[in-house]
């Protein structure tokens, strides 16, 4: 009889201890808990010929969306390929999908993970890697539909079911089904209150609906469920900081940054993205983040991963500009344009979104607001192509509004504020922008 994992899927190892560690590692990955890499490495030390173990390790590297993970991804893909003869169909397909990512065909890789999930709908690893891939690629409808495809094959008794609900919640949120998203997220949390992705999905709903006090209460009251030893912690701190920022409490934002978001180098890319974007939002408001910029910029610059993923590069440029290092920003911009000239998914991302947004940020910092506006107006319409969530990409809209205000483009500033006002209830930050747009229309300047 073939060996099966905790969801009944066949695996090629007969080593029960290794399989147990594999299931434990997958659980850590599902909840972004602790150290799934250490757990899967233990499983592989126990059984080095466990193909699915190498597939999990590879999937973990794919979900990081970070060029610094590439050497480890290569190790896992090559180890998995060497086990081809003894691997089963599902394991071989995992390794092939990871190979596509390693070859920088990100879109194809995620399609392959998605295909595995169609044929093996209880393969939670394939589902989750595809889900995070959809996030990295900005494929919002698939964030929702890829989960919907597999749900009929699950029930609440199966281990990990709540994680599926959390993923579905996020997909529903990113496609504006806010009520259903919140219901799904709360259902996931009824089953497992410590699901940071489900907590995060509901926080997104509150962000998109401008429910600031509720958002602060939601994340604040559940802090023990998401903040400790969790890979998503900085991201959820960032969400909490966004609510505070919309309230206009920039002191609270800086305190959250200092106490919870600032990480020693080398930080993971996701954390650097959020740290950079938060300081940039403060910068747009004229808040001086001072010495916070420099270590952030250095961390980005020391990674040697520029040109891997345009979404990261744009945030690295924010940090260099904020740190007052235009030469470093120009170097990162050169890496982006080098990437744009190559092939693969990131070439498209860099060409269509990364380079124009980077140039807009550089122009903004030079005080060339007209150029920033010209670049951002079309880029914001297709910005999903370089990944991230609506909330993350909103930094582009905020930069555009600030460029319009500082560039004396009162009509544009008022129009962009009106867009926001139609989507969310009034809040202190939006009111402030609208006052400034009105002042701008009267020829006054107020920062
Ligand atoms: Fe988020």
Residue 108 Cα to ligand 1 middle (Å): 24
Q: Model confidence over 35-69: pLDDT tens digits?
A: 999 999 999 999 999 999 999 999 999 999 999 99
Q: Which phi and psi (to 5°) does residue 357 adopt?
A: -70, -40
**What 3-state class would DSSP assign to 268?**
coil
Going by pLDDT thresholds of 50, 70 and 90, the confidence category of residue 446 is low
Distance from the alpha carbon of residue 238 to the mean position of ligand 1, in angstroms: 8
Mean pLDDT of the chain: 96
Nearest to 288 by CA among 261, 316, 257: 257
Q: What is the pLDDT of residue 445?
A: 58
pLDDT digits (tens, 9 = 90+) for 268-292: 999 999 999 999 999 999 999 999 9
Q: Which pLDDT value is given to residue 178? A: 98
Architecture of the domain delimited by 160-261: Alpha Horseshoe (1.25)
- Pair of tokens at residue 275: 């740290």
In whole angstroms, give the CA distance from residue 413 to residue 404: 5
Rounded to the nearest angstrom, the distance between the alpha carbon of 201 and the centre of ligand 1 is 7
203 CA to centre of ligand 1 in angstroms: 8
pLDDT at position 447, please?
57
Calculate the dihedral angle through the C-alpha atoms of 57, 197, 32, 7, rounding to the nearest 10 degrees: -60
Cα 274 to ligand 1 centroid, rounded to whole Å: 9
Report long-range pairs for 248-253 (Cβ below 8 Å, ≥24 apart).
248/427, 248/428, 248/429, 248/432, 250/282, 250/285, 250/287, 253/278, 253/282, 253/287
The residues, ordered by sequence, that sit 6+ positions from 281 with a Cβ below 8 Å of its Cβ are: 242, 245, 395, 398
Query: Cα dihedral sign for 90, 92, 98, 100?
Result: negative
Cite the DSSP H helix spans in 309-368: 310-322, 326-340, 345-349, 355-365
How far apart, in Å, are the Cα atoms of 46 and each of 7, 20, 371? Answer: 21, 11, 58
- In CATH terms, are 1-155 and 160-261 the same topology? yes
Distance, CA 254 to ligand 1 centroid (Å)? Answer: 19
pLDDT of residue 439: 94
Cα 236 to ligand 1 centroid, rounded to whole Å = 7
**How far apart are alpha carbons 270 and 388 in whole angstroms?**
10
- This model's pTM is above 0.75: yes
Cβ burial of 155 (10 Å; 0-12, 13-18, 19+) is exposed
Residue 343 has, within 13 A of its CA and on its CB side, a CA count of: 4
How high is the pLDDT of residue 443?
Answer: 81
- Report CA(158)–ligand 1 centroid distance (Å): 27
Please give the average per-residue pLDDT across 195-216, as a whole number: 97
Task: Report how far ligand 1's centroid is from the alpha carbon of 125 (Å).
Answer: 21
Determine the distance separating the centroid of ligand 1 and the alpha carbon of 384, expressed in angstroms. Answer: 14
* pLDDT per position as a tens digit, 364-414: 999 999 999 999 999 999 999 999 999 999 999 999 999 999 999 999 999
Q: What's the confidence (pLDDT) of residue 145?
A: 98
Task: Summarize the confidence of residues 421-425 as an average pLDDT.
Answer: 94
pLDDT band at 18 (very low <50, low <70, confident <90, very high): very high
- Which CATH number is correct for 1-155, 1.10.3470, 1.25.40, 1.10.760, 1.10.10? 1.25.40
Domain ranges of the chain: 1-155, 160-261, 262-407
Q: 3-state class of 382 per DSSP?
A: coil
Taken as a whole, the chain contains a residue count of 447
Sign of dihedral through CA atoms 245, 248, 250, 252?
negative
């Amino acid at each position: 009889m073939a060996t099966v994992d905790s969801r009944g899927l066949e695996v090629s190892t007969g080593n029960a201890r290794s399989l147990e560690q594999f299931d434990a590692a997958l659980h850590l990955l599902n909840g972004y808990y602790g150290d799934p890499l250490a757990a899967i490495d233990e499983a592989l030390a126990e059984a080095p010929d466990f193909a699915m173990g190498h597939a999990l390790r590879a999937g973990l590297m794919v979900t990081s969306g970070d060029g610094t993970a590439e050497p480890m991804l290569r190790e896992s893909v090559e180890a998995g390929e060497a086990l081809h003869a003894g691997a089963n169909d599902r394991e071989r397909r995992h390794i092939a999908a990871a190979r596509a990512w390693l070859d920088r065909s990100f879109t194809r890789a995620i399609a392959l993970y998605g295909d595995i999930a169609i044929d093996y709908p209880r393969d939670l690893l394939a589902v989750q890697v595809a889900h995070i891939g959809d996030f990295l690629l900005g494929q919002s409808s698939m964030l929702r539909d890829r989960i919907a495809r597999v749900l009929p094959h699950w029930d609440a008794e199966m281990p990990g079911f709540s994680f599926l609900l959390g993923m579905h919640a996020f997909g529903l949120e990113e496609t504006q089904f806010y009520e259903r998203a919140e219901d799904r997220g709360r259902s996931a949390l009824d089953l497992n209150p410590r699901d940071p992705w489900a907590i995060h999905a509901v926080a997104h709903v509150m962000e998109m609906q401008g429910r600031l006090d509720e958002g602060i209460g939601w994340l604040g009251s559940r802090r023990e469920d998401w903040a400790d030893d969790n890979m998503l912690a900085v991201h959820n701190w960032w969400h909490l900081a966004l609510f505070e920022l919309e309230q206009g409490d920039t002191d609270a934002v800086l305190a959250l940054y200092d106490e919870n978001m600032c990480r020693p180098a080398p930080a993971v890319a996701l954390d650097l993205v959020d740290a950079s974007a938060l300081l940039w939002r403060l910068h747009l408001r004229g808040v001086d983040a001072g010495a916070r910029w420099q270590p952030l910029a250095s961390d980005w610059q020391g990674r040697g991963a520029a040109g891997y993923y345009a979404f990261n590069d744009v945030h690295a440029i924010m940090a260099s500009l904020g740190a007052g290092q235009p030469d470093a920003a120009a170097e990162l911009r050169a890496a982006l344009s080098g990437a744009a000239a190559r092939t693969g998914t990131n070439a498209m991302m860099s060409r269509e979104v990364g380079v124009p947004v980077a140039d807009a940020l550089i122009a903004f910092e030079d005080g060339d607001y007209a150029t920033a506006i010209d670049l951002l107006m079309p880029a914001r319409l297709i910005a999903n192509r370089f990944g991230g969530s609506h909330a993350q990409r909103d930094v582009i809209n905020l930069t555009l509004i600030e460029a319009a205000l500082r560039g004396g483009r009162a009509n544009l500033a008022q129009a962009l504020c009106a867009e926001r006002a139609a989507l969310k209830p009034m809040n202190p930050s939006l009111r402030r922008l609208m006052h400034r747009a009105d002042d701008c229309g009267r020829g006054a300047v107020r920062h």
